[in-house]
Amino acid sequence: MTNYRMNRDQARDWFRAELTAIGEAASAVRYKKHPEKIVSYTLQRVVNYTNVCNAYCTFCSFYRPPGHPEDYLLTDDEILDKIEKGVALGVTGVLIQGGDHPDLKIEYYERLLKKVKQRFHVQCHSFSASEILNLSQVSGISLRDAIARLRDAGLDSIPGAGAEILDDEIRNRISPMKLKTAEWLEVHRTAHQLGLPTTATMVFGFGETLEHRLNHLDRLRQLQDETGGFVGVIIWPYQTGARTPMILPQQKPTAEEYLRMQALTRLYLDNFENLQASWLTVGLETGRRALHFGANDAGSVVIEENVVRGAADTRSAGEADLRRQIEQEGFIPMERNSTYSRRAPSLRTHFAAFSSEASHTGENHPSAPILRRPG
């Protein structure tokens, strides 16, 4: 596997290989990068500070247009109160996210970040690329200046939200008013240049082809080659919900397709260290299986997440439940922070489990097989 880099022909072959084969191949790469049997996770307080958004994405159940009777903007005190309650439960990271608000300028975000940092010892892993581009435009400043000012006010890292499929043929159909592929990449490139790590995401299942998905992975791999600033990648299937128009599939991808795409992501993104299993969107049973398809991270235990959970088929679980699921698959659970630095298990009280699913008995692969093309 020395100097091996998967090309698109090989990616197509692997995606169509037997499920067991692609899972073992992805596990091989996972164990080469992370030989130990640790699976990390993080405790995160999500604060959806507003649901006002001008992007009008067809797949989003969370947003409300400006002036809608259900729109809201939390006060600073309400935001700080939510974070305080999360810190009391042991969270180490705060994900502040909302929408492309037409009126909030850079000063609003600077003030908020400074207040959070003055009161709490937490990582601020916050604001999507779409929000950051929007606030720079609303404020009449450059993208670089906006990110630098957010960094100086207390922003520690940027989540990968808003990527969906990084191909404008798809973006123009599902979210024509949202930032384009080049703009999403430029936000993350600029953040990396300014010393801010970020995560990458892909949401699939909008009716795109495998070629669109490979375009997405190619663009992530190329930017990571350029900057090295991505600390992890998360993929998940598009979530059906109340606001699912006829232009989108009425059913989300199957568990098998998710596992195939996750494994392919591990194989193709050879320059990414961390791959997160998206149990929040696929559920604990499939999330457990995902640990045998290249994932070395189980994602987040979150408090109050509304953007993804705005869809009807999302799940949640508590820390004790998630740790138990990891252990049942033969791994050692270990808490991390928002940028994948690990923390020793703490003695504080675990979150109460919100819900759990039927167990899946998987088979661990402590000895990683050699990666070969299928067939």
Q: What is the CATH number of the domain that holds 310?
A: 3.20.20.70
d(CA 338, CA 92): 8
Q: What is the pLDDT of residue 347?
A: 32
pLDDT tier, 270 (very low <50, low <70, confident <90, very high otherwise): very high
Query: Residue 58, class by beta-carbon neighbours within 10 Å (0-12 exposed, 13-18 middle, 19+ buried)?
Result: middle
- Contact of 258 with 237, CB cutoff 8 Å: yes
Q: Which residue has the tokens 């940027």?
A: 158
Asked if the structure places residue 357 within a domain, the reply is no
Asked if the structure places residue 52 within a domain, the reply is yes
pLDDT tier, 62 (very low <50, low <70, confident <90, very high otherwise): confident
Read off the pLDDT of residues 155-202 as tens digits, 9 standing for 90 and up.
999 999 999 999 999 999 988 889 999 999 999 999 999 999 999 999
- Contact of 13 with 374, CB cutoff 8 Å: yes
Mean pLDDT of the chain: 86
Residue span of the structural domain in which 41 resides: 18-336
Asked if the structure places residue 100 within a domain, the reply is yes
Read off the pLDDT of residues 313-349 as tens digits, 9 standing for 90 and up.
344 568 888 899 999 999 999 999 999 997 644 433 3
Asked if the structure places residue 374 within a domain, the reply is no
Look up residue 174 and give its DSSP letter.
Answer: H
Read off the pLDDT of residues 196-250 as tens digits, 9 standing for 90 and up.
999 999 999 999 999 999 999 999 999 999 999 999 999 999 876 645 565 677 7
Asked if the structure places residue 92 within a domain, the reply is yes
**pTM beyond cutoff 0.75:** yes
Higher pLDDT, 177 or 298: 298
**How many domains does the structure of the chain reveal?**
1
Backbone angles phi, psi at 237, to 5 degrees: -80, 145
Asked if the structure places residue 134 within a domain, the reply is yes
